[in-house]
Structure 1
Amino acid sequence: MEPKPMIAQKVSKHTKTSEVSERKGESSAVANRRLTRAKFSDEASYTRRRKFPVLFYSKEMEPLAHKVAAASENVVELGQIDWRTFPDGFPDLFINDAYDVRDRHVAFLASFHSPEVIFEQLSIIYSLPKMFVASFTLVLPFFPTGTAERVVREGEVATAVTLARILSNIPPSRGGPTSTIIFDIHALQERFYFGDSILPCFESGIPLLLERLNALEDSNNVVIAYPDEGAYKRFHSFFAGAGYECVVCTKVREGSKRIVKLKEGEPIGRHVVIVDDLVQSGSTLIECQKLLHRLGAAKVSAYATHGVFPNASWKRFTSSGVGGQGFANFWITDSCPQTVEAIAGHEPFEVLSLARAIVDALEV
């Protein structure tokens, strides 16, 4: 009598289970791609979607991230991160749907507006490229240590170099080195502070200002003023190409004081717009405004890509501040989220969003 084929049955059952497991274990990435395709009506829209990244963002940059998504007609997808802390205060972070970003272009919108938030964001920035992503881009609108780009005596530390080195060590992704997008870095030579393992892309907020100036009722009467020769060298080509005349101020020392004087240009009867890359205390802008009004300017406005305004110095430009009565407009971008939140509803401030410029820079 032949024995029952128990072993054969067991083997067959095991094999069948393995086959089921293999089917269940079909690549989630493939399944996700199929689901993603199903969301779009045609191949062209799907391809366009795949060209744009999944955009993760810091807590403070959430408003700008949503503006970026809207400016892209929601082609840019927003990723989610749980920003938590352990009882001892150190970050307890979690990147949601991490598997879904495989083979996708990924970007992170950062804000290093305070030293306290840099470590937790760097933890995310160093992790995302390792998730088998097609490429990784860091969007850092404001490079905060840009004004500490040099030393004038032994012992000073150029922290712009330090931050550039930290960013230069972001791990590569499948697509190669990390790209980083920075708007109006303080000194153009800082591009050489970055190592070969990162690809810095330097953008500017000036096109936003040019667009806004064209919309002014007195756009034909606008003249551009530079608070110092550094600002002139940096931004003159933008405005000269657009046909704007210029006024150049300079700082000179008289005794123990440094005062602002007119170097060249004619502000009489004009709407003078002072342009610089960033504003902190605002003292230089206020001195320029007073000088220009004394010299006969009809109106004075100001623009700075980065409204840093430490210690709530933006209040100096409101109606109750020392410089508030002198400025018709004060334009900044949303590169510094803490300032955007603080100045909401306060004249003469107006925020020009970087969202559209970021979308254009992110298109792969």
Structure 2
Amino acid sequence: MKLMSGTANPDLSRSIADYLDAPLTASHIERFADGEIFVRIDENVRGEDVFILQSTSYPANDHLMELLICIDALVRASARRITAVIPYFGYARQDRKTGGRTPISAKLVANLIAKAGADRVLTVDLHAGQIQGFFDIPTDNLFATKVMEADIRRHYETDNLLIVSPDVGGVVRARALAKLLDAEIAIVDKRRPKAGVAEVMNIIGEVEGRRCILFDDMCDSGGTLVNAADALLDKGAVEVSAYVTHGVLSKDAQGRVAKSRLRELVVTDSIVPPPGSTETPKVRRLSVAPLLGEAIRRIANDESVSKLFD
């Protein structure tokens, strides 16, 4: 087994390598003056089972192209099997036509990864589970739910806890966490007048006197979570925190969270904080390296990955 890292999240790659007690494959990745990406693998990978570690986060197009070029380099170096480990799968929000003459970009990206030569994909908390069906190669979608559950038990009393889905589409995700914690759920009814803007319309469920935890797959601008927290507190919630797998945190998202009424926002290390973002003590990070490392170990040894979901 070989582990190769792209440049999107080198810290997570090193943490996965440490978990597996395996070195990262020597490689050289650079960009020409006009932005072209060049990749060279500096050790023999012929006949090897190679895992290329690369989130397609900001800048999404650069990191996606880098992933495709790394896969092509491995194909031409005669790797036996190539698994694209994509902790955060960019373009996942474009998983359906939202109007006339619009693309389904998640399917396009899935096609590009398969055509480049990947034999398998491993990712974490896809925005929509059906994206697995966009790939014509085996795809494992891991869930960070148990990582979140363990952290919640360490930091919160669970007897008065309420798990809240910030929208109707996240109910299944929220229910899975609530089941692990033996908690009830509530739902925020919201609408999006335009991309990146969310308005809370109603709260479904009894939140008065409860400690609420908003649970979602990603936080981009932070508007959804901040507005939902305000609505829950206005309805009588004691406090509101948020747990999110992918902290996209674009533009001034961390500043928005810092000024909000959220107790804290907990994200994983699937994404590196974007350049220029201002760190705030209200944002705390958990590692998914053990989760990904164990899945990689099981795939390499032809063991069951589904047991990680039990």
Q: Which has the higher helix share?
A: 1
1:217, distance to aligned residue in structure 2 (A): 4.4
- Count of matched residue pairs: 292
SS at structure 2 position matched to 1:310: coil
SS at structure 2 position matched to 1:220: coil
Q: Deviations over 1:196-231 (max 9, x none)?
A: xx2111111111110101112423332211111111
Task: Name which of 15, 20, 27 aligns with 1:67.
Answer: 15
Extract unaligned runs of 5+ from structure 1.
1-52, 173-177
TM-score normalised according to structure 2 size: 0.87
Matched-pair contact (CA < 8 Å) for 2:54–2:63 = no
1:190, distance to aligned residue in structure 2 (A): 1.4
Task: Name which of 328, 348, 352 aligns with 2:282.
Answer: 348
RMSD, matched Cα = 2.2
Matched-pair contact (CA < 8 Å) for 1:60–1:338 = no
Give the direction of change, closer, same or farther, for the CA distance of 1:237–1:120 in structure 2 (3 Å limit).
Answer: closer
SS at structure 2 position matched to 1:335: coil
Q: Deviations over 1:325-345 (max 9, x none)?
A: x1112111111113499465x
The correspondence of residues 41-120 of structure 1 with structure 2, limited to 5 A, is 53-72=1-20, 74=21, 76-97=22-43, 99=44, 101-113=45-57, 114=59, 115-120=61-66
Matched-pair contact (CA < 8 Å) for 2:13–2:53 = yes
1:168 aligns with 2:114: yes
SS at structure 1 position matched to 2:8: helix
Q: Which residue number in structure 2 is paired with residue 180 of structure 1?
A: 121
The separation in 2 between residues aligned to 1:104 and 1:135, in whole angstroms, is 7
The separation in 1 between residues aligned to 2:272 and 2:285, in whole angstroms, is 11
The separation in 1 between residues aligned to 2:154 and 2:105, in whole angstroms, is 39
SS at structure 1 position matched to 2:251: helix
Percent identity of paired positions between Structure 1 and Structure 2: 23
Give the direction of change, closer, same or farther, for the CA distance of 1:349–1:102 in structure 2 (3 Å limit).
Answer: same
The separation in 1 between residues aligned to 2:172 and 2:83, in whole angstroms, is 29
The separation in 2 between residues aligned to 1:309 and 1:87, in whole angstroms, is 28
Matched-pair contact (CA < 8 Å) for 1:331–1:352 = yes
Moved more, 347-356 or 267-276: 267-276
Q: Which residue number in structure 2 is paired with residue 362 of structure 1?
A: 296
Give the direction of change, closer, same or farther, for the CA distance of 1:224–1:69 in structure 2 (3 Å limit).
Answer: same
Matched-pair contact (CA < 8 Å) for 1:260–1:288 = no
1:241, distance to aligned residue in structure 2 (A): 4.2
Matched-pair contact (CA < 8 Å) for 2:163–2:174 = no
TM-score normalised according to structure 1 size: 0.75
Structure whose alpha-carbon radius of gyration is higher: 1
SS at structure 1 position matched to 2:116: coil
Matched-pair contact (CA < 8 Å) for 1:81–1:96 = yes
The separation in 1 between residues aligned to 2:199 and 2:148, in whole angstroms, is 29
One-letter amino acid of the structure 2 residue matched with residue 262 of structure 1: I
Give the direction of change, closer, same or farther, for the CA distance of 1:339–1:333 in structure 2 (3 Å limit).
Answer: farther
Q: Which residue number in structure 2 is paired with residue 280 of structure 1?
A: 220
Q: Deviations over 1:106-137 (max 9, x none)?
A: 11111212213322331111221443334221
Q: Deviations over 1:242-272 (max 9, x none)?
A: 4121121212699xx94331112x2222221
